[in-house]
C-alpha cells in the first residue's frame, strides 16, 4: 500500500531523492517476529558460551536467524522508493496513488533525464540514401519560433508504418503506401522547454554537392529506373 508520496509530475528530483514509500503489514510482522527470534537466539548463544555447552549449535542457529533478519530488513528498505537518476518526474497524478493497493511488479513512477531529447522522424525509402548517422539536422517544434540544431543518431533497419495522423488518408485503392524508416535525432534541451510528446518538422542535411552533381545524380536515377 502507498503510505507516502514525496513527488509529483513535472518536479525535478535529484538522484537518491525519495519518491514513494510503501507499507506492507505482513512483511513488517515478519520483521518483528524475526527481531524477537534473533534476540532469543543471541541470549541462548551467550548462555551456551558461559556454560561451555552446545556453543556450536546455538551459534549456528543465531547466525541463521540473523541472516534471515537482515534479508527482511533489506526488503523493508526497498519499500522506500528513491530516484535512481537526477531528472524530471513524468508520471501524472502521482499523489492520487496515496492509500492505493499496489500489486507486485507494478510500475509506479517514471523519472527521465530531459536535458537531451530524442526526436523520431519518418524518412521515405526514396530519400533514405541521402541520410546517414551523424548527419546534421534542424528541428522546429510546433508552436515554437526557435529552430533547434540536432544530429541524426540512428536509422531503423526495417520500415515502419507511418502514423496516420501525420499523413493524408489514401483514398485510391490498389496502391501500396510508401515505406518509411525512423531516424532518431538528438536535441539539446538544457532550457527545459521541450516536453515528451511534442511534434514538429525536421530537416536532415546531407553532404554538400554542386548543382552539376545533383543534376547528374537525378538523371542517373531516372535512367536507372527506365532501364530496369
Residue with the larger pLDDT of the pair 25 and 19: 19
Q: Which of 81, 94, 83 is nearest to 12 (CA)?
A: 83
Give the separation between CA 56 and CA 157, rounded to whole angstroms: 64
Q: What is the dihedral of CA 165, 171, 173, 177, to 10 degrees?
A: -30
Give the separation between CA 75 and CA 90, rounded to whole angstroms: 26
Instruction: Read off the DSSP letter of residue 74.
Output: H
Kindly report the backbone phi and psi dihedral angles of residue 54, in degrees, each rounded to the nearest multiple of 5, phi listed first.
65, 30
Give the separation between CA 12 and CA 85, rounded to whole angstroms: 10
- Across 149-167, average pLDDT: 79
Position 17 scores a pLDDT of 94
pLDDT digits (tens, 9 = 90+) for 90-112: 999 999 999 999 888 888 999 99
Give the rounded percent of residues in the chain with a pLDDT score beyond 70: 87
Report field, pTM of the whole predicted structure over 0.75: no
The 3-state DSSP class for residue 192 equals coil
Residues linked to residue 137 through DSSP beta bridges, in sequence order: 150, 204
pLDDT digits (tens, 9 = 90+) for 166-195: 665 555 455 566 788 889 999 999 888 898
Long-range contacts of 138-146 (CB under 8 A, 24+ apart): 138/202, 138/203, 138/205, 139/185, 139/187, 139/200, 139/201, 139/202, 140/200, 140/201, 140/202, 141/194, 141/198, 141/199, 141/200, 142/198, 142/199, 142/200, 144/193, 144/200
Amino acid at each position: 500500500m502507498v503510505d507516502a508520496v514525496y513527488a509529483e509530475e513535472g518536479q525535478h528530483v535529484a538522484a537518491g531523492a525519495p519518491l514513494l514509500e510503501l507499507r506492507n503489514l505482513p512483511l513488517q510482522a515478519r520483521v518483528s517476529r524475526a527481531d524477537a527470534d534473533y534476540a532469543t537466539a543471541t541470549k541462548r548463544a551467550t548462555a551456551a558460551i558461559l556454560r561451555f555447552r552446545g556453543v556450536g549449535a546455538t551459534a549456528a542457529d543465531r547466525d541463521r536467524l540473523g541472516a534471515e533478519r537482515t534479508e527482511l530488513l533489506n526488503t523493508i528498505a526497498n519499500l522506500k522508493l528513491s530516484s535512481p537518476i537526477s531528472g524530471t518526474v513524468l508520471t501524472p497524478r502521482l499523489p492520487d496513488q496515496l492509500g492505493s493497493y499496489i500489486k507486485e511488479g507494478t510500475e509506479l513512477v517514471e523519472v527521465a533525464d530531459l536535458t537531451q531529447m530524442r526526436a523520431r522522424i519518418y524518412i521515405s525509402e526514396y530519400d533514405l540514401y541521402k541520410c546517414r548517422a551523424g548527419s546534421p539536422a534542424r528541428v522546429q517544434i510546433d508552436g515554437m519560433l526557435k529552430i533547434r540544431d540536432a544530429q541524426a543518431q540512428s536509422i531503423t533497419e526495417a520500415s515502419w508504418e507511418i502514423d496516420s495522423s501525420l499523413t493524408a488518408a489514401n483514398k485510391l485503392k490498389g496502391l501500396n503506401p510508401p515505406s518509411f524508416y525512423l531516424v532518431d535525432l538528438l536535441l539539446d534541451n538544457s532550457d527545459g522547454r521541450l516536453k515528451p510528446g511534442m511534434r514538429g518538422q525536421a530537416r536532415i542535411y546531407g553532404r554538400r554537392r554542386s548543382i552539376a552533381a545533383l543534376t547528374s545524380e537525378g538523371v542517373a536515377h531516372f535512367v536507372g529506373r527506365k532501364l530496369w
